[in-house]
Amino acid sequence: MRVSLAASALAVSAAAPASAFAIDYMNIEQAAKLMFPDAETFDARDVTLDAAQLQQLDAQGIKGRSAHWSVTAARRGGSTLGFVVFDEVVGKVELISYAVGIALDGSVRQIEILAYRESHGFEVRLPAWRKQFVGKGAGSAIKVGEDIANISGATLSCTHVTDGVRRIVAVVAAARRGGALV
């Protein structure tokens, strides 16, 4: 074991500036291929839930949050293997984007974090901050370097991701019942 303390380590509360950091793991296409390696094509569809479907979600205790979702179907030959949905959630001081793979029986096949953006709490809620991050990733996936690789002392909450996954499972089920996804 080798541990070296940073110069500022023991003066944490003093003048050392706090810096935000970000990690890109993979983009949506990479996540879809990882979840459904046998798929030949990925077919993105816009799904719009109607008022009745949103009410059904409410009745299940799930906030639909949005009526509009993009759901990617993984296909091989003429058959559908499953679905991938991309989403992002805002925590106290972070923005987490993730993808959920859903099997044909409606169960969660895999969850992958796509990117993690930590901020001082307020930037994350501004549209410009979100925009800079949405759609990013292809060239900068999986980078470990000068940007902080690992943090400690942080209980990175995954509560919002867990809630988001439940919502996505319900949205895909509702869309399939409604015939919007085949």
Partner 1 sequence: MGTPGHGKFERRARPLLGTIVDIGVRVDGAACAPIDAAFAEIVALECLLSRFDAASDIARFNALPAGASLAPSNATLEVVRVAQALFISSSGLFDISTGTAPEGWACRDDQLHKLDSRTVLDLGGIGKGYAIDRAIDRLIEQGATAGWVNAGGDLRVFGDVELPIALRDESSGGSRAFASLADGAFATSHYGAGARSRLAGAEPGALCRHGAVHVSVAAPTCLWADALTKVVALSGDTSHPLLARHDALAWLH
**53-92 footprint of partner 1 as x/- string (CB under 8 A):** ---------------------------------------x
| Nearest alpha carbon to residue 40 among 83, 74, 86 | 74
Edge to edge, the sheet with strand 79-90 lists 22-24, 108-118, 94-103, 79-90, 68-76, 41-48
Q: How far apart are CA 74 and CA 80, in angstroms?
A: 6
Burial of 2 (0-12, 13-18, 19+ CB in 10 A): exposed
Site map (CB under 8 A) of partner 1, residues 125-144, x = contact: -----------------x-x
Are 130 and 124 a contacting pair, CB within 8 Å?
yes
Q: Which residues contact 52 (CB under 8 A, 6 or more apart)?
A: none
Give the one residue of 63, 76, 120, 125 binding partner 1; rule: CB under 8 A. 120
Q: Which stretch binds partner 1 (CB under 8 A): 46-54, 73-81, 127-135, 156-164?
A: 156-164
Does position 151 bind partner 1 by CB under 8 A?
A: yes
Q: Give me the 19-48 binding string for partner 1, x by CB under 8 A, dash otherwise.
A: xxx-x-xx----------------------
**169 touching partner 1, by CB under 8 A:** no
Binding stretches for partner 1 (CB under 8 A): 1-10, 12, 16-21, 23, 25-26, 92-94, 96, 98, 111-113, 116, 118-121, 142, 144-146, 148-158, 161-162, 165
